Amino acid sequence: MDKAVETTRALSIPGLLNILYRARRLVMAATLAGLVAGIAYGVFTRPLYRATAQVRPGIVSYSDMGAPLREWALKDIVRWFRTWLYWPDLRELDEFRTRKGPPDILAEYIPSGPQFQQGGDVITLTNLNPDPLLAVRTLREAIDAFNRQASLDSVGSTMYLTIGGARVRMDKIRNDIDHLAADEARARLEIGARERALALLQADSLRLDLKIRRLEGGRAWRENAIGVIGGETEQARQRLAEAQGLLQRVMEADGATTAAPRTGDAQVDVLLQVAGREQAGRVAELLATVDGLSTRITEATVTVDTLRDRMATIDLEIARLRLERDVDLRKRQGDIRQEIRDLELRLERDLPLQRAQLDADWRGEKVRLDLLSPLEQIGHISVSDKPVRPRRLRAAAILTALGLCSGMALALGLEYFRRNRDQILAPGA
């Protein structure tokens, strides 16, 4: 009966509290030991910093429509990090030569669709290290190691084909840009040639002006000559008229003398014969004068007609030269100026626009080329400002609680052993 009462008392709350009270030194000692252990853990444990990087399957090629293609499964990437396949590359670095084992990199992802879906899902890589810079370098070198190793398999060959095609297109664009530079130099040379042609046209205009002035001078001389010859011809006509009148009178006087009868006086007849011969000489002179004047007048008339015909020819030539100067040369000058303006517009707008378009195409290919990678890093690798381990307060609280629980359990165990010692230590039946 007493043993049952004692057992009931021990199992009651007051009984338990009584046991703990009597073993309070033991409980307090265990609790204090836990607190000391927590403080020692926080003091002597090296602090760890967490570096975090986010990656996803990278772009290894592009579709015909330009859409990116990702060919790595999330499961394969996670397994690659969890099996420390990055360690052969990392241990070649100076920072890891003295390390005996690979650094742990935790790879986790939450799929947004069916499992092993390619692309779109983000994998979080985490590394804890006492040196925050080394933690960041560990993740960076591990990502680079994945890309190097992935470039050696079939997926990498697809990426290399894409890289080769992009570089060929970039080289072609660069050649087109060089051709544009050559076109620009050629356009400047053509502008110079057009300007020289324009200067030659201006020289031709001056040459035509000089030729017109020379023809106008010749025409003025001929016109003056016609005036002079016309005046002389008029005077010759007057003299011819006078000579013809005198000849007429002489002829009439000669006819009267010839018709006069002989007087019978020999001396008088001789005088009359002599007078007839003198009159005949004068008539001959007058006839010669009239013939000469007529010839001169005819020649002068022919000369005047010739000069006038030449003046008409000169007028036509002057009109033609003026038309060539005022119409043809101006038209050619306008065409050359228009060609120069077109070339200047090509230099000022067309070629710069083409160059800008080619530069944009080149940059686009460069961006597409830079995005090619088996593993794409999203953003930068971040590292915690403060150590994430150990958490001193939590560790001290946990170890103190463990010490308290251990002390209470030890006190209850010792009390149970004391009360049931005989049964516990009794030899077996």
Per the structure block, which two tokens stand in for 69? 């293609």
In DSSP terms, 389 is beta-bridged to 48
pLDDT of 160 above 70: yes
Q: What is the DSSP letter of 325?
A: I
What distances in angstroms separate CA 157 from CA 68, 151, 247, 299, one per listed residue? 16, 7, 128, 106
Q: What is the predicted pLDDT for the residue at 311?
A: 84
Q: What is the DSSP letter of 347?
A: I
Number of H helices, E strands in the chain: 12, 6
Mean pLDDT for the chain overall: 80
Residue with tokens 């001396």: 267
Residue with tokens 């006086």: 265
Q: What is the predicted pLDDT for the residue at 154?
A: 54
Per-residue pLDDT, averaged over 185-209, amounts to 87
Distance CA 244, CA 289 (A): 9
Confirm if 412 and 19 have CB atoms less than 8 A apart: yes
Confirm if 86 and 96 have CB atoms less than 8 A apart: no
47: cis peptide before it, omega within 30°?
A: no
- What's the CATH number of domain 203-347, 2.30.30, 2.30.230, 1.10.287, 1.10.12? 1.10.287
Q: What is the predicted pLDDT for the residue at 268?
A: 47
Q: Comparing 138-147, 166-175, 308-317, 388-397, which segment has the lowest mean pLDDT? A: 388-397
Q: What is the predicted pLDDT for the residue at 124?
A: 92
CA dihedral 12, 16, 17, 18 (to 10 degrees): 100
Tell me the pLDDT tens digit for each residue of 415-425.
Answer: 888 888 777 77
Residue with tokens 């230590």: 425
Tell me the pLDDT tens digit for each residue of 343-380.
Answer: 899 889 999 999 999 999 999 989 888 888 888 888 89
pLDDT band at 186 (very low <50, low <70, confident <90, very high): very high
Q: What is the predicted pLDDT for the residue at 386?
A: 84
Per the structure block, which two tokens stand in for 409? 């359990």
Per the structure block, which two tokens stand in for 77? 């990437």
Confirm if 50 and 104 have CB atoms less than 8 A apart: no
| Phi, psi of 138, deg, nearest 5 | -60, -45
Q: What is the predicted pLDDT for the residue at 271?
A: 46
CA dihedral 350, 355, 356, 362 (to 10 degrees): 150
| Class of residue 90 by CB neighbours under 10 A (exposed 0-12, middle 13-18, buried 19+) | buried
pLDDT of 272 above 50: no
pLDDT of 21 above 90: no
Give the domain ranges of the chain: 1-45+390-418, 203-347
Q: What is the predicted pLDDT for the residue at 341?
A: 92
The helix (run of H) or strand (run of E) holding residue 31 is: helix 24-44
- The stretches of 83-153 forming alpha helices (DSSP H) are 87-90, 132-150
Tell me the pLDDT tens digit for each residue of 90-129.
Answer: 988 888 888 888 999 999 887 655 444 455 578 999 999 8
Tell me the pLDDT tens digit for each residue of 33-45.
Answer: 888 887 877 777 7
Q: What is the predicted pLDDT for the residue at 1?
A: 42
Q: What is the predicted pLDDT for the residue at 112?
A: 58
Distance CA 73, CA 117 (A): 6
The helix (run of H) or strand (run of E) holding residue 68 is: strand 68-70
Q: Comparing 102-111, 198-207, 274-283, 291-300, which segment has the lowest mean pLDDT? A: 274-283
| Class of residue 324 by CB neighbours under 10 A (exposed 0-12, middle 13-18, buried 19+) | middle
Q: What is the predicted pLDDT for the residue at 426?
A: 75
Using alpha carbons, select from 360, 381, 343 the residue that is nearest to residue 133: 381
What distances in angstroms separate CA 429 from CA 363, 420, 421, one per listed residue? 93, 17, 16
Q: What is the predicted pLDDT for the residue at 423?
A: 79
What is the percentage of the chain residues whose pLDDT exceeds 90? 18
Tell me the pLDDT tens digit for each residue of 57-102.
Answer: 888 888 888 788 887 888 888 999 999 999 999 988 888 888 888 9
